Amino acid sequence: MKKAQIIEFFDRLAAALPEPKGELEYVNSYTLLVAVVLSAQATDVGVNKATRKLFQVADTPEKMLSLGEAGLKDHIKTIGLFNSKAKNVIALSQQLLAEHGGQVPQDRDTLVKLPGVGRKTANVVLNMAFGQETIAVDTHIFRVSNRTGLAPGKTVDAVEQKLEKVVPANRRRHAHHWLILHGRYVCKARKPECPTCQLHDLCAYKAKTTAEAAPAKAAKRRKPAA
Protein backbone atom coordinates (compact mmCIF):
# COMPACT_ATOMS: atom_id res chain seq x y z
CA MET A 1 0.00 0.00 0.00
CA LYS A 2 1.37 3.40 -1.00
CA LYS A 3 1.86 6.28 1.45
CA ALA A 4 -1.08 8.27 0.13
CA GLN A 5 -3.33 5.24 0.45
CA ILE A 6 -2.16 4.62 4.03
CA ILE A 7 -2.95 8.21 4.97
CA GLU A 8 -6.41 7.86 3.44
CA PHE A 9 -6.81 4.48 5.17
CA PHE A 10 -6.38 6.00 8.63
CA ASP A 11 -8.22 9.23 7.76
CA ARG A 12 -11.32 7.17 7.03
CA LEU A 13 -11.01 5.13 10.22
CA ALA A 14 -10.56 8.35 12.21
CA ALA A 15 -13.55 10.00 10.58
CA ALA A 16 -15.77 7.04 11.43
CA LEU A 17 -14.51 6.72 15.02
CA PRO A 18 -12.55 9.76 16.24
CA GLU A 19 -11.94 8.43 19.77
CA PRO A 20 -11.77 4.63 19.69
CA LYS A 21 -11.80 2.79 23.00
CA GLY A 22 -10.67 -0.67 24.06
CA GLU A 23 -13.41 -3.05 25.12
CA LEU A 24 -11.77 -4.42 28.27
CA GLU A 25 -13.24 -2.92 31.42
CA TYR A 26 -10.88 -1.58 34.10
CA VAL A 27 -10.69 1.06 36.83
CA ASN A 28 -6.97 1.89 36.95
CA SER A 29 -3.66 0.89 35.39
CA TYR A 30 -3.32 -2.13 37.68
CA THR A 31 -6.73 -3.57 36.84
CA LEU A 32 -6.04 -2.93 33.16
CA LEU A 33 -2.83 -4.93 33.45
CA VAL A 34 -4.70 -7.77 35.15
CA ALA A 35 -7.48 -7.69 32.56
CA VAL A 36 -5.05 -7.87 29.65
CA VAL A 37 -3.19 -10.79 31.25
CA LEU A 38 -6.52 -12.58 31.71
CA SER A 39 -7.57 -11.86 28.11
CA ALA A 40 -4.92 -14.09 26.54
CA GLN A 41 -6.76 -16.69 24.44
CA ALA A 42 -10.05 -15.36 25.79
CA THR A 43 -12.64 -12.83 24.64
CA ASP A 44 -12.98 -9.36 26.11
CA VAL A 45 -16.64 -10.11 26.79
CA GLY A 46 -15.76 -13.19 28.83
CA VAL A 47 -13.04 -11.38 30.76
CA ASN A 48 -15.35 -8.45 31.55
CA LYS A 49 -17.99 -10.75 32.98
CA ALA A 50 -15.45 -12.21 35.38
CA THR A 51 -13.64 -9.01 36.35
CA ARG A 52 -16.64 -6.80 37.14
CA LYS A 53 -17.03 -8.41 40.56
CA LEU A 54 -13.30 -9.13 40.93
CA PHE A 55 -12.28 -5.49 40.59
CA GLN A 56 -14.87 -4.47 43.18
CA VAL A 57 -12.87 -6.35 45.81
CA ALA A 58 -9.36 -6.36 44.33
CA ASP A 59 -8.34 -3.23 42.44
CA THR A 60 -4.80 -2.96 43.86
CA PRO A 61 -1.92 -5.43 44.22
CA GLU A 62 -2.41 -5.44 48.01
CA LYS A 63 -6.08 -6.34 47.75
CA MET A 64 -5.34 -9.01 45.15
CA LEU A 65 -2.83 -10.67 47.46
CA SER A 66 -5.34 -10.49 50.31
CA LEU A 67 -7.86 -12.25 48.08
CA GLY A 68 -5.30 -14.97 47.45
CA GLU A 69 -4.84 -17.37 44.58
CA ALA A 70 -7.81 -19.54 45.58
CA GLY A 71 -10.08 -16.52 45.89
CA LEU A 72 -8.90 -15.18 42.55
CA LYS A 73 -9.54 -18.52 40.86
CA ASP A 74 -13.09 -18.48 42.14
CA HIS A 75 -13.66 -15.15 40.35
CA ILE A 76 -12.00 -16.08 37.05
CA LYS A 77 -12.87 -19.78 36.74
CA THR A 78 -15.01 -19.07 33.65
CA ILE A 79 -11.94 -17.80 31.77
CA GLY A 80 -9.74 -20.23 29.85
CA LEU A 81 -6.42 -21.22 31.47
CA PHE A 82 -7.59 -19.64 34.73
CA ASN A 83 -5.25 -21.74 36.90
CA SER A 84 -2.05 -20.49 35.27
CA LYS A 85 -3.45 -16.98 34.90
CA ALA A 86 -4.28 -16.82 38.60
CA LYS A 87 -0.69 -17.78 39.46
CA ASN A 88 0.65 -15.09 37.16
CA VAL A 89 -1.65 -12.38 38.55
CA ILE A 90 -0.64 -13.20 42.12
CA ALA A 91 3.04 -13.32 41.16
CA LEU A 92 2.96 -10.04 39.23
CA SER A 93 1.13 -8.41 42.13
CA GLN A 94 3.89 -9.53 44.50
CA GLN A 95 6.54 -8.22 42.10
CA LEU A 96 4.81 -4.87 41.69
CA LEU A 97 4.82 -4.40 45.46
CA ALA A 98 8.37 -5.66 45.98
CA GLU A 99 10.01 -3.78 43.11
CA HIS A 100 7.75 -0.91 42.03
CA GLY A 101 5.93 0.32 45.09
CA GLY A 102 2.71 -1.24 43.85
CA GLN A 103 2.69 0.93 40.71
CA VAL A 104 2.49 -0.32 37.13
CA PRO A 105 5.74 0.51 35.28
CA GLN A 106 5.47 2.84 32.31
CA ASP A 107 8.14 1.25 30.12
CA ARG A 108 8.01 -1.93 28.08
CA ASP A 109 11.30 -3.45 29.19
CA THR A 110 10.20 -3.40 32.82
CA LEU A 111 6.66 -4.55 32.13
CA VAL A 112 7.72 -7.67 30.24
CA LYS A 113 9.67 -8.82 33.29
CA LEU A 114 6.39 -9.28 35.16
CA PRO A 115 4.92 -12.82 35.23
CA GLY A 116 2.44 -13.42 32.42
CA VAL A 117 3.30 -10.17 30.63
CA GLY A 118 4.63 -10.36 27.07
CA ARG A 119 5.32 -7.65 24.52
CA LYS A 120 1.71 -7.51 23.31
CA THR A 121 0.33 -7.15 26.83
CA ALA A 122 2.89 -4.47 27.64
CA ASN A 123 2.01 -2.52 24.50
CA VAL A 124 -1.71 -2.61 25.32
CA VAL A 125 -1.10 -1.31 28.84
CA LEU A 126 1.28 1.42 27.68
CA ASN A 127 -1.21 2.57 25.06
CA MET A 128 -4.42 2.43 27.10
CA ALA A 129 -3.16 3.38 30.55
CA PHE A 130 -0.42 5.84 29.71
CA GLY A 131 -1.25 7.12 26.23
CA GLN A 132 1.94 5.89 24.63
CA GLU A 133 1.97 5.37 20.86
CA THR A 134 2.39 1.61 20.93
CA ILE A 135 0.75 -0.99 18.70
CA ALA A 136 -0.02 -4.41 20.13
CA VAL A 137 -0.36 -6.85 17.25
CA ASP A 138 -3.03 -9.41 18.07
CA THR A 139 -4.76 -11.79 15.66
CA HIS A 140 -7.07 -9.03 14.39
CA ILE A 141 -4.30 -6.54 13.64
CA PHE A 142 -2.14 -9.27 12.12
CA ARG A 143 -4.98 -10.26 9.79
CA VAL A 144 -5.95 -6.71 8.79
CA SER A 145 -2.35 -5.69 8.20
CA ASN A 146 -1.67 -8.65 5.92
CA ARG A 147 -5.04 -8.88 4.20
CA THR A 148 -5.27 -5.22 3.25
CA GLY A 149 -1.60 -4.83 2.37
CA LEU A 150 -1.15 -2.15 5.01
CA ALA A 151 1.79 -3.83 6.77
CA PRO A 152 2.33 -7.39 5.56
CA GLY A 153 4.56 -9.67 7.60
CA LYS A 154 4.95 -13.35 8.44
CA THR A 155 5.19 -12.81 12.20
CA VAL A 156 3.56 -10.47 14.72
CA ASP A 157 6.93 -8.85 15.35
CA ALA A 158 7.42 -8.21 11.64
CA VAL A 159 3.96 -6.67 11.35
CA GLU A 160 4.56 -4.49 14.41
CA GLN A 161 7.84 -3.22 12.99
CA LYS A 162 6.17 -2.46 9.67
CA LEU A 163 3.30 -0.62 11.33
CA GLU A 164 5.75 1.44 13.35
CA LYS A 165 7.18 2.66 10.05
CA VAL A 166 4.03 3.26 8.00
CA VAL A 167 1.39 4.58 10.42
CA PRO A 168 1.15 8.37 10.03
CA ALA A 169 2.46 10.32 13.03
CA ASN A 170 -0.91 11.94 13.71
CA ARG A 171 -2.62 8.52 13.81
CA ARG A 172 -0.23 6.55 16.01
CA ARG A 173 -2.09 7.21 19.26
CA HIS A 174 -5.25 5.39 18.17
CA ALA A 175 -3.97 3.09 15.40
CA HIS A 176 -3.99 0.11 17.75
CA HIS A 177 -7.71 0.36 18.50
CA TRP A 178 -8.80 1.32 15.00
CA LEU A 179 -7.16 -1.80 13.56
CA ILE A 180 -8.43 -4.12 16.29
CA LEU A 181 -12.01 -2.91 16.00
CA HIS A 182 -11.89 -3.03 12.21
CA GLY A 183 -10.67 -6.61 12.35
CA ARG A 184 -13.17 -7.62 14.99
CA TYR A 185 -16.28 -6.18 13.38
CA VAL A 186 -15.58 -5.60 9.67
CA CYS A 187 -12.50 -7.42 8.38
CA LYS A 188 -13.52 -10.66 10.08
CA ALA A 189 -11.51 -13.84 9.74
CA ARG A 190 -14.08 -16.05 8.03
CA LYS A 191 -16.60 -13.64 6.54
CA PRO A 192 -15.15 -10.16 6.00
CA GLU A 193 -17.78 -7.47 5.43
CA CYS A 194 -16.15 -6.24 2.23
CA PRO A 195 -19.30 -4.82 0.55
CA THR A 196 -19.87 -2.37 3.42
CA CYS A 197 -16.23 -1.73 4.32
CA GLN A 198 -15.19 1.92 4.08
CA LEU A 199 -11.69 0.78 3.06
CA HIS A 200 -12.88 -1.46 0.22
CA ASP A 201 -11.22 0.48 -2.61
CA LEU A 202 -7.91 0.77 -0.72
CA CYS A 203 -7.68 -2.87 0.27
CA ALA A 204 -5.40 -5.26 -1.62
CA TYR A 205 -7.30 -8.39 -0.56
CA LYS A 206 -7.73 -10.47 -3.72
CA ALA A 207 -10.61 -12.56 -2.41
CA LYS A 208 -12.85 -9.62 -1.51
CA THR A 209 -16.44 -10.58 -0.93
CA THR A 210 -19.00 -8.58 -2.86
CA ALA A 211 -22.72 -8.14 -2.58
CA GLU A 212 -23.15 -9.94 -5.90
CA ALA A 213 -20.82 -12.84 -5.11
CA ALA A 214 -23.20 -14.93 -3.05
CA PRO A 215 -26.12 -14.91 -5.56
CA ALA A 216 -23.72 -15.61 -8.41
CA LYS A 217 -22.29 -18.67 -6.67
CA ALA A 218 -25.76 -19.87 -5.81
CA ALA A 219 -26.77 -19.58 -9.47
CA LYS A 220 -23.85 -21.72 -10.56
CA ARG A 221 -24.83 -24.45 -8.13
CA ARG A 222 -28.49 -24.42 -9.18
CA LYS A 223 -29.38 -27.28 -11.50
CA PRO A 224 -31.18 -26.44 -14.76
CA ALA A 225 -34.88 -27.22 -14.83
CA ALA A 226 -35.79 -30.54 -16.44
What residues are labeled active site? Answer: 120, 138
Closest CA to 120 of 112, 132, 128: 112
How far apart are alpha carbons 146 and 163 in whole angstroms? 11
How far apart are alpha carbons 32 and 110 in whole angstroms? 16
How far apart are alpha carbons 132 and 25 in whole angstroms? 19
- Residue 158 · residue 129 · CB < 8 Å: no
- Residue 116 · residue 75 · CB < 8 Å: no
How far apart are alpha carbons 18 and 51 in whole angstroms? 28
Q: 176-187 burial by CB neighbour count: b if 16+ within 10 A, else e?
A: bbbbbbbbbebb
How far apart are alpha carbons 169 and 156 in whole angstroms? 21
